[in-house]
Amino acid sequence: ALEVSLPSSHIYVFTDASSKDYYLLNDVLKLIQRKQSQIVFVMTGDCGNHSHPGYQAYERIASTSSGQVFHLMKSDVDEVLNFVRVSLQARKVNLFAVDRKAGDLKEFEFDVDGSLREFTVSVSGESPVVTVINSKGEVIDQSKGLFELLNHKNISIVNIKDPEPGRWKLRVNSGGAHTIRATGLSKIDFLHGFSRQPTENLKETYHRPLKGAPTYLLVNATDLPEPATFKNVKIIDLEGNSLQNIPLHRFPGSNLFNATKFFPPDEYFYLKVAGSDEHGYPIERMTSTAISAQLPGRIVSFFGSFPLAGRKRKIAK
């Protein structure tokens, strides 16, 4: 499905068994980054040993693609399909993604800008409890506009329509390891690409940086109205920790931004751009999938494949 799907697709896999071809995991992870597709696994029934490589492959794929693994009974599938209908709306943007390895109570902050028509929070884990707090410090419940899209012993999905701009909080509690995803509906988003030299052309960039090498980042904002702007980009690990904070510089008269030279981390990471909307409210957007640096060799970009700069090419005589 991933090979034949369009870029930036949302793929839902319904299964009652662990993967039998988990040996293809690394190839799938590379393809996810190239296609920028999100994959959600809906596990119906008992899928056996969760330490089995076939099951862990599902978790790795979901984590890398900013997807999730849902555990349900077959009788609950209709409820998930209602969530799927909501999640497939156009103009969906990523706000944040966090993987927690243990059960605990944790509070997160995220920015809601004026262009967000709604946002959805999804938590998958053991007995998740989600509390949403608006920018005024008020707990948002069903009487104040919170919609429960799915309330299950292993999944909690809530939606807020027409949220007031400002800094919101999300309080999440779970009895074990869990994943948290927040998405919104907005026209404002971004494309990105990595390069070894500064450039103003996305066609000269790659979707993955080179491991251990100084790297430049080009960001192309989509539907960013004046005077809204992006100011910096953060390197975020899969647990939500900020590893680097890099200033962005705007090319005059365009929605292109470049980041100063940096070294990408060895582990998987997200890019989170931050700035302000046209009304001065903070704005944040995150890449749709996690990213990993690649070893030297032939680099595949969004638009084709290129040899690394500095490598000699054989010329036929």
pLDDT value at residue 216: 97
Upstream peptide bond of 282 is cis (omega within 30 degrees of 0)? no
Angle at which helix 25-35 crosses helix 53-64, to 10 degrees, equals: 10
Residues of the chain with pLDDT under 50: 301-317
Note the pTM of the prediction, 2 decimals.
Answer: 0.85
CB distance 85 to 247 below 8 Å: no
Phi, psi (degrees; rounded to nearest 5) at 140:
-95, 115
CATH number of 1-88: 3.40.50.410
Q: Which amino acid is at 82?
A: N
How is domain 189-286 classified at the CATH fold level?
Immunoglobulin-like (2.60.40)
pLDDT value at residue 47: 61
Which structure tokens are listed for 151? Answer: 């309330």
Render pLDDT for 7-50 as a digit per residue (tens, 0 to 9). Answer: 888 888 888 888 888 888 999 999 999 998 889 888 886 666 67
How is domain 91-186 classified at the CATH fold level?
Jelly Rolls (2.60.120)
Cα distance between residue 176 and residue 101, in whole Å: 7
pLDDT value at residue 310: 37
Which structure tokens are listed for 23? Answer: 């040996």
Q: Which of 125, 188, 112 is CA-nearest to residue 157? A: 125
CB distance 69 to 177 below 8 Å: no
What does the H/E/C string look like for the chain? CCCCCCCCCEEEEEECCCCCCHHHHHHHHHHHHHHCCEEEEEEECCCCCCCCHHHHHHHHHHHHCCCCEEEECHHHHHHHHHHHHHHCCCCEEEEEEEEECCCCEEEEEEEECCCCCEEEEEEEECCCEEEEECCCCCEECHHHCEEEEEECCCEEEEEEECCCCEEEEEEEECCCCEEEEEEEECCCEEEEEEECCCCCCHHHCECCCECCCCEEEEEEEECCCCCCEEEEEEEEECCCCEEEEEEEEECCCCCEEEEEEECCCCCCEEEEEEEECCCCCEEEEECCCCECCECCCEEECCCCEEECCCCCCCCCC
How far apart are the two ends of the chain, measured CA to CA in Å?
A: 42
pLDDT value at residue 48: 61
| CB environment 112-124: b (16+ within 10 A), e (fewer) | bbbbbebbbbbbb
* Sequence ranges of the domains in the chain: 1-88, 91-186, 189-286
pLDDT value at residue 71: 84
